[in-house]
Chains A and B, each alone.
Chain A
């Protein structure tokens, strides 16, 4: 079972083509200069990062996500494979969403058990029957991918609601270009700066039919106290659209308007960064004052587009995840390009028995958990931890799923003045509108602790720039 994890940089002791330039460059660098640069990068990041920090509250105010200056590199050929795989998944997930809110063919065909969808908390009855522009429900799909071999990519999970972190992808690149201009001159790295323009285009392309002329877009945020507020304001700024809160919007007749100093202005497309439950007190939580009363009625009657659609979360639910390969076959008639990780659902007794027996070699997650909290990494846990966790699973089996521990690939990371292998994952951002676009890059998260497989920033993870080399 013990096998060296795949190294992104070396194969059989030789530097892979993707890392050739980087490696050569690194060898010519003076270690002192590198340390110096690392400090500069930190300062620079802190200066931009300071804006991340001020929005945080209390203890978190000064906590920044550590930035590693050694990029993670893909060859164009490798990226093309990933790109096809991610786009395929984004297409299948959106078709699934259209299907479960309209004809429910996949349920009729018995491919996914009815109750997993219809009784799923993320399945939104208020959306049944709606056909949004271009039949797109999830306009930004973030797919979390890990690599275990040269051609082996696995999807850990899909994010169909409002995946975050794209501001890091853009800021990381910005800093790298400022730090190492020469390196960028020597290497042909595909730019990511187009992302905001693509996002804007995607949102414009799904304007509702009732919209005349150029659509007005807005980013809807819960407000300055939200931990991702920086990203919300960053994206609004980059797209040159208004950043609105619920209180800025109101419904009148068939449409939604924002209050501006020139008077009410109609909003056609809302890129919302608030959860379904807080969108509209007339439809969801009646006590919520974050949302816009009547918004859902306007949405349902085609007066505004909400991106992503309310109810899109049913596609990224952990219980639905296991069926994504089947979805791809059912809707697209294709074989999945990216693999799913084998998953045991503890709600099923056979699976539960297997999981309890094999805990030391499995990763166990809570069905609705996120951020790496509440999970068990079997191989890295003590006997006591495993025994305690087993009790928790037995208490409420339906709350857990288990997966084999994957040997995540490692990427060279600058630790204590030298390069050391650290485990990484990847989240590319796929935009779905009139076209399906994937920005050549993404967010690479790195587990900074030696041997650790947990890349979440809340658990000591850092971030890296992600390069896709042009052929």
Chain B
């Protein structure tokens, strides 16, 4: 298939997943703003949210104050933020339009519908005063589009590129969510294990819609170690780093079989996955969760570039 088409599909998935993550981040901020800040906390919950997006610099170029209103606007409706929900949806839709023959009518209609409806939402922002409504809307659209894709798209290389984008973005986002929690929210080590801390860990789980799944897996033990294990190493968690990498491996292997050859992007991922098999959550925490996550996020960046190079995305 044309590299431009593969790239288009890859980015449709990345943008959709990113939009969903932003919605979930807004939800985290919104819930945390309703609970007391940890004693000695030096940042507001909205700063944490902003930090998680990796776009705090861009924010400070356009806004004076970090508060709910500004962050909400920046993450959802602001055209100046390249990753705002608005831009993610528009970019996914335009990519689909430019590669119209590569997506089914169902996928196209779902995407186009989301795009048009978002424009309506934007016109009438008062109807969306509450963040939860926006969050629900985004999650619903994302589920519809992904569902249409899974149900109607042929299982050929185009679906592999779509899924690579999807899992790469998701792995990156989970890592960022976790990093914010562990690094930004916790001012001192004493806070670990306190009641506020525990509440915030639950908020994080809630943000990834995994509270029940977590309880089902680990019972009532909310220890940070368990939660970190759940989101990093548990293959059953659909957002865990391990699961996302495992799925990428699956799609890389399918491509390798189809094309009769592997490439550096595949090797890079395989090597990353290998390290998960040997990993122990206690070692990770002992050696520093933040360091681990930063390294992982950097690896995902490298993987993205290597995919672009290996499949000739670059002009």
Contact = CB atoms under 8 A, between A and B. Distances in A.
A54 B312 CA distance: 29
B174 to A, nearest CB: 27
Interface in A311-336: none
Given A54-B112, A248-B3, A259 B100 contact: no
B250 interface: no
B97 A224 contact: yes
B4 interface: yes
A219 to B, nearest CB: 10
A262 interface: yes
Contact of B315 (A223, A224, A247, A263): A247
Contacts of A223: 98
Interface string B96-130: 01101100000000001000000000000000000
B101 A259 contact: no
Contact of A233 (B100, B112, B311): B100
A468 interface: no
B2 interface: yes
Q: Which of A223, A237, A262 gathers most chain B CB within 10 Å?
A: A262
A54 B157 CA distance: 26
A113 interface: no
Q: Which of A223, A260, A261 gathers most chain B CB within 10 Å?
A: A261
A248 B4 contact: yes
A54 B94 CA distance: 11
B3 A259 contact: yes
B11 to A, nearest CB: 14
A243 interface: yes
A424 interface: no
A233 B101 contact: yes
B101 A261 contact: no
B100 A224 contact: yes
Interface in A219-263: 223-224, 233, 236-237, 242-245, 247-248, 250, 258-263
Contact of A261 (B100, B112, B161, B315): B161
A55 B112 CA distance: 12
Nearest to B307: A261
B259 interface: yes
Given A54-B112, A247-B315, A261 B1 contact: yes
A258 B112 contact: no
Interface of B is mostly: helix
Contact of B98 (A224, A261, A264): A224
Nearest to B94: A224
Given A54-B112, A247-B315, A261 B6 contact: yes
Nearest to B160: A261
A261 B97 contact: no
Given A54-B112, A242-B2, A237 B315 contact: no
Interface in B54-69: none
Interface string B1-32: 11110100000000000000000000000000
Nearest to A232: B101
B2 A259 contact: yes
A245 B112 CA distance: 22
Interface residues of B, number: 18
A250 B112 CA distance: 32
A242 B97 CA distance: 16
Contacts of A236: 101
A30 B150 CA distance: 45
Nearest to A233: B101
Nearest to B314: A259
Contacts of A261: 1-3, 6, 157, 161, 255, 259, 311-312
Contacts of A247: 4, 315
A264 B100 contact: no
B312 A263 contact: yes
B2 A54 contact: no
A259 B98 contact: no
Interface in B77-103: 94, 97-98, 100-101
A236 to B, nearest CB: 7
A241 B97 CA distance: 18
A371 B255 CA distance: 47
B2 A248 contact: yes
Given A261-B157, A264-B312, A55 B3 contact: no
Contact of B4 (A55, A245, A264): A245
A258 B112 CA distance: 29
Nearest to B3: A259
Contacts of A264: 312
Q: Which of A236, A250, A263 gathers most chain B CB within 10 Å?
A: A263
A256 to B, nearest CB: 14
Given A242-B2, A261-B161, A261-B259, A237 B101 contact: yes
A245 B101 CA distance: 14
Nearest to A237: B101
A291 to B, nearest CB: 13
B157 to A, nearest CB: 6
22 contacts: A54-B97, A54-B112, A223-B98, A224-B94, A224-B97, A224-B98, A236-B101, A237-B101, A242-B2, A244-B2, A248-B2, A248-B3, A250-B315, A259-B312, A260-B1, A260-B2, A260-B3, A260-B312, A261-B1, A261-B6, A261-B311, A262-B259
Interface of B: 1-4, 6, 94, 97-98, 100-101, 112, 157, 161, 255, 259, 311-312, 315
Q: Which 5 A-B pairs give the minimum distances between C-beta atoms?
A: A259-B3, A259-B312, A261-B311, A224-B98, A261-B6
